[in-house]
Structure 1
Amino acid sequence: MQELIVVTGASTGMGAATARELAGRGFHVLAGVRKDKDADAIRADGIEPVILDITDPDQIAALAARVEGDPRAVRAVVNNAGIAVNAPVESLSMHDWRWQFEVNLFGHIAVTQALLPALLRSKGRVVNISSVGGKIAMATYGAYAGTKFALEAVSDALRRELAPLGVQVVVIEPGGVQTEMAGRGIATANRLVTGMTREQHERYGDLVQAITAQATAFTKAGLPAGDAAKVIAKAVTVRNPRTRYTIGRDAAVLSRLPRILPDRVLDRILAANLRPHYPAKR
């Protein structure tokens, strides 16, 4: 029988591309979106949109009920939903810190918990979309990278818990990918700058501008979302998946640097790469 796959955060970017890639391979995809207009945009043969805010317990329960009421086996859940909130540790409000973790970590855990009974029955797969930021944390990425480091740790624990039960857990670590989320993250960073105090702006204003310029260039040079979707689909479908897949050459390189370089050396390399993006001094 045709198998089910749940993809969260399927409105745009990698999530939408992954839903289409998996539907094209013959799966029935339950594509999590937050708005009716996004549901209309993603609906297609093999793609059934479901309204899903992964921070909303009622919507998660409705998704679980939808899955439980379907006779088809659940091949995988792809935890893809996420946001990027980048700002210096000092200036980011505790509300924004908590919201970043609510979406990028706790929401994934909640969805996974709700769908695990079905995954255990089908011996399915959990695919968590992390980031190169789950291996290396650049300046102003404390909150975002913190959620991804945590997701990596939770994935390791979950993999070791579920392996004896026949459920596999895979982590995906994208680098630069051309997605709407990257653009929204840059816009959010620009908005947060305006909320800094004068002293914070003096300390971090140039840094945030440099990071934003670097992120823009990084995203522009990144892979198309469709290419990233093929890697995710491989993680879902290959018989014996690796525990981790990187997406893009940049991710492959950056994810290895913390393992082979001393912290101070890595600090200098990151600072040197950022330097050309600083605003010119008048």
Structure 2
Amino acid sequence: MAKTILITGCSSGIGYDAAHGLKAAGWKVFATCRREEDCERLRSEGLTSFQLDVSDPDSIDAGFNEALARGRGRLDALYNNAAFACPGATEDIPPGALREIFETNLFGLHDLTTRAIKVMRAQGDNGEGRILQCSSVLGFVGLRWRGAYVSTKFALEGLTDVLRLEMADTGIKVVLIQPGPITSNIRVNSIPPFEKWVNWEGSARRAQYENGLLKRLYEKREPDTFELPPSEVTKVILKALEAPRPKARYKITTPTKAMSVVRRLLPDPMLDWVLRKG
């Protein structure tokens, strides 16, 4: 029987490419999406797809049980990919916006992770499985206008580091995937949360919104410098899944690798100067 993997957030971008790439590599992929219409589209493309909304505990329960049923009670890997952004100056992000983004980017992810661990502990003499968490370069450095998203990824990195230490006495391997600029719909998908939560017109930074963030959000633009296609992430995911001793972190794209070095070497005032230019 082919190894099974449950992936969240497969409607586009990294999750979509990973679902197709892992299926082509011989994995039995459960490609989940928040909306049924996206699942229908993926099924028409030959993928096994069903709903799983990581912000909804009932949907998590139903989706996870569906994966177990289709995998005959076995789950070899979980890739927590689903996430969204709510851009805006940190002073303009209300508490409700943080609660909403943490529900998807951390709490739902943690719910799935703990469910997967229970299943994986029963596999093999000492437990067996892989848990991959999709973090970001923004999981270890912050950039302006991204405070809500950055806070969830920083939290994810800390939670995952501790989980990796705790799982060291089992056969369950825990890995962080750290992409940088990857072609995806995250910018477009961040517009509804921005419009819902951020009162930019009443902000002390209104002029900065008009001259910067609004243009980046709403205007069609060329790819970012060093931006890579999601297939580059899929290659790394396969390495993390199939390596006998996977790394704790896999950094993808030049900016992620460069920022990792800069973060270690520069004192905070110099690092802040670099990041303000970013």
Superposed pair shares fold, TM > 0.5: yes
Q: In terms of mean alpha carbon deviation, does 84-93 or 36-45 score higher?
A: 36-45
Query: Unaligned stretches of 5+ in structure 2?
Result: none
The residue correspondences of 1:1-282 to structure 2 (distance < 5 A) are 1-43=1-43, 47-69=47-69, 70-71=71-72, 73-122=74-123, 123-185=128-190, 189=194, 195-197=200-202, 199-202=204-207, 205-206=210-211, 208-209=213-214, 219=224, 221-273=226-278
Q: In terms of mean alpha carbon deviation, does 91-100 or 200-209 score higher?
A: 200-209
Residue in structure 2 matched with residue 277 of structure 1 by the alignment: none
Per-residue CA shift, 1:53-103, capped at 9, x if unaligned? Answer: 011111211223224433363221000000011111111122111111111
Per-residue CA shift, 1:100-121, capped at 9, x if unaligned? Answer: 1111111110111122222222
Q: Secondary structure at the match of 1:199?
A: coil
| C-alpha distance 115-272 of structure 1, shift in aligned 2 (>3 A) | closer
Q: In terms of mean alpha carbon deviation, does 145-154 or 63-72 score higher?
A: 63-72
**For the Cα contact (< 8 Å) 2:187–2:217, is it kept in 1?**
no
- One-letter amino acid of the structure 2 residue matched with residue 81 of structure 1: A
1:199 Cα deviation from its structure 2 partner: 3.1
- One-letter amino acid of the structure 2 residue matched with residue 106 of structure 1: F
CA distance in 2, matches of 1:216, 1:144: 21
- One-letter amino acid of the structure 1 residue matched with residue 116 of structure 2: L
1:23 Cα deviation from its structure 2 partner: 0.5
CA distance in 2, matches of 1:197, 1:149: 29
1:269 Cα deviation from its structure 2 partner: 1.7
**For the Cα contact (< 8 Å) 1:235–1:242, is it kept in 2?**
yes
CA distance in 1, matches of 2:85, 2:65: 30
Identity of aligned residues (%): 31
Q: Secondary structure at the match of 2:76?
A: strand
**For the Cα contact (< 8 Å) 1:61–1:114, is it kept in 2?**
no
- One-letter amino acid of the structure 2 residue matched with residue 131 of structure 1: S
CA distance in 2, matches of 1:182, 1:95: 20
**For the Cα contact (< 8 Å) 1:159–1:169, is it kept in 2?**
yes
| C-alpha distance 36-68 of structure 1, shift in aligned 2 (>3 A) | closer
Superposed CA RMSD in Å reads 2.6
Q: Secondary structure at the match of 1:9?
A: coil
| C-alpha distance 193-206 of structure 1, shift in aligned 2 (>3 A) | farther
1:45 Cα deviation from its structure 2 partner: 7.7
CA distance in 2, matches of 1:186, 1:256: 32
CA distance in 2, matches of 1:145, 1:129: 13
